[in-house]
Amino acid sequence: MRRIAIINQKGGVGKTTTAVNLSAALAEAGQRGWLIELDAQAHASLHLGLVITDHSPSMYDVLTGQANLGDICHPVESNLWLSPSHLDMAAVEMELAGEVGREIILRDAMATVDQEFDFVILDCPPSLGVLTLNALTAADEVLLPLQPHFLALHGLSKLLKTIELVARRLNPGLVLSNVLYCMYDSGTRLAGEIVHDVQRFLDSERNSSSVWAEAQSFDTVIRKNIRLAEAPSFGQSIFGYAPNSNGAYDYRSLAQEVLRQTTTISDRHRTLSSVQTPL
């Protein structure tokens, strides 16, 4: 199982669009997926047409110890389950302020769920607060969506330092695995320049011991596509709303790339375990 946290503390860069449509593309490809929503805006739930009442339990209740995570895994499409958020989540930061071990509540809750999944995708809010820390502690890897425009890289060093700290103190296996360019406009020179700057940075870090030493930019870029912006108001992923759009094409291509990585990762694990087997 791969646990991928989609994180960028910058708002509106394509985190939720990616969480929803990558999950849906993986599900379409036959993978069992679980999308966990950690943002009070609850846009992922809206996007997938899951409406919960004010009295139904949500991730808010799980994080505050009032519900079991297993009880809020709702099936939303074939092969895809969603654990929804709620506006109440906005208060979690303050409510958990004095709680010991507040960064590992989600990880502990996930360990109690006995359903089998191939992928867990965590949709995070645009901040580096306690919800994002919970995602970083529960995940194996971070997928960083970037919108290649002015100030795209602003705040990136703070994000990288946070991932590094969480890896050092709470989650030793955590890495930044991938950068994904969203709302990509190939017609602008700036987009090309930002992609080039990020690539130069990643290449310069290859031999470092940092958590981003092996990070790759996906070959797939998510182009600007109005259908992706329209789909949430119809409560459907891009595959339900506009299956032949460029947006659907890009997210399918992204899912294939993610699946190829999974094969490489499990091959590497197989090789390592055969090397470590005593004669």
Residues at the contact surface with Mg ion, assessed by CB under 5 A: 15-16
Torsion angle of C-alpha atoms 261, 264, 266, 269, degrees rounded to 10: -130
| Among 69-77, 80-88, 186-194, 223-231, the segment contacting ligand ATP (CB under 6 A) | 223-231
| Among 12-20, 54-62, 169-177, 269-277, the segment contacting ligand ATP (CB under 6 A) | 12-20
Contact between residue 159 and residue 128 where contact means Cβ atoms under 8 Å apart:
yes
With CB under 6 A as the contact rule, the residue among 87, 213, 229, 272 that binds ligand ATP is: 229
Q: How far apart are CA 134 and CA 124, in angstroms?
A: 10
Contact between residue 201 and residue 156 where contact means Cβ atoms under 8 Å apart:
no
For the bound state, the minimum distance from the C-beta of residue 11 to Mg ion, rounded and expressed in Å, comes to 8
| Among 14-22, 101-109, 203-211, 271-279, the segment contacting ligand ATP (CB under 6 A) | 14-22
Sole residue written with tokens 């985190």 = 15
Sole residue written with tokens 């659907």 = 248
Residues 25-54 that bind ligand ATP (CB under 6 A): 39, 41, 43
CA end-to-end span of the chain: 29
Residue 182 binding result from ligand ATP, Mg ion, none, given CB thresholds of 5 to 8 Å by partner type: ligand ATP
160: contact with ligand ATP by CB under 6 A: no
What residues line the site for ligand ATP (CB under 6 A)?
11-17, 39, 41, 43, 126, 182-183, 222, 224-225, 228-229, 232
